[in-house]
């Protein structure tokens, strides 16, 4: 079972799709939407800098720092409403699937946001 996680197995079998997040009976706050959009923009910019011919290590470090801070802001957001909880969880699961939640501060921020 190399490379297969419980989550990917559930997704393949359809067992994970018990409730559609879109019908989670809640709206996403403008603040969380803005944080997610900021991270998505920073992630695309980081990818562009990393793959741009001739980009300097300083450019890559700066783009990486900006993306990291944007992701940390999403992780830190205290999702109180049902819509925010769904949106935050759904987004962070997507980010995690790319292997992006790899810094200790991410998990700490997520846990603190739940307190």
What are the DSSP calls for 89-111, one per residue? HHHHHHHHHTT---SHHHHHHHH
Helix H or strand E segment including 66: helix 57-76
Contact of 22 with 16, CB cutoff 8 Å: no
Q: Is residue 9 part of a domain?
A: no
Mean pLDDT of the chain: 83
Q: Is residue 2 part of a domain?
A: no
Residue 44, pLDDT score: 96
Q: Which domain holds residue 56?
A: 28-113
Residue 79, pLDDT score: 93
- Cα 10 to Cα 72: distance, rounded to the nearest angstrom: 27
DSSP-assigned letter for residue 52 = S
Q: Is residue 53 part of a domain?
A: yes
Q: Is residue 6 part of a domain?
A: no
Q: Is residue 15 part of a domain?
A: no
Contact of 109 with 76, CB cutoff 8 Å: yes
The radius of gyration of the chain's CA atoms, rounded to the nearest angstrom, is: 16
Total of domains in the chain = 1
Would you say the pTM of this structure is higher than 0.85? no
- Enumerate residues 6+ apart whose C-beta is below 8 A from 99: none
Q: Is residue 42 part of a domain?
A: yes
Q: Is residue 92 part of a domain?
A: yes
Q: Is residue 4 part of a domain?
A: no
Q: When comparing pLDDT for 6 and 87, which is higher?
A: 87
pLDDT in tens, 29-61: 999 999 999 999 999 999 999 999 998 999 999
């Amino acid at each position: 079972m190399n490379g297969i996680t419980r989550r990917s197995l559930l997704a393949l079998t359809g067992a994970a799709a018990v409730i559609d997040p879109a019908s989670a009976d809640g709206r996403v706050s403008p603040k969380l939407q803005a944080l997610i959009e900021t991270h998505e923009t920073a992630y695309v910019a980081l990818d562009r800098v990393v793959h741009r011919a001739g980009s300097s290590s300083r450019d890559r470090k700066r783009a990486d720092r900006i993306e990291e801070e944007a992701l940390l802001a999403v992780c830190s957001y205290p999702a109180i409403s049902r819509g925010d909880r769904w949106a935050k969880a759904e987004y962070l699961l997507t980010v995690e699937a790319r292997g992006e939640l790899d810094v200790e501060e991410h998990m700490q921020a997520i846990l603190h946001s739940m307190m």
